[in-house]
Amino acid sequence: MLYGLIKNHPWVGGNKRTATTLAELFLNRNGFEITASIPTLIELVLAIEADRWQVDEIDLWMRRHCEQIGG
């Protein structure tokens, strides 16, 4: 979802911010939270935008930087 929203530019502006917020909300509603620092999260988003990371790299990043809420 994060990749698709960033790369497809569905809005006139704020695509990266909106995509990040929606991805975090989706994770939270499914019992997970992103534990990465803000600078680390920004690096992820910029790597996606610059075509340095694809879905497989994002998947690994999420697995390393997310934890189950209350677990």
pLDDT tens digits for range 10-60: 777 788 999 999 999 999 999 999 999 999 999 999 999 999 999 999 999
What distance lies between CA 66 and its chain's CA centroid?
Answer: 10
Residue whose tokens read 């990040």: 20
Q: Is the pLDDT of residue 8 over 90?
A: no
What is the largest distance, in Å, between two alpha-carbon atoms of the chain? 38
pLDDT at position 13 is: 75
Query: Using 50, 70 and 90 to split pLDDT, how confident is the model at 71?
Result: low
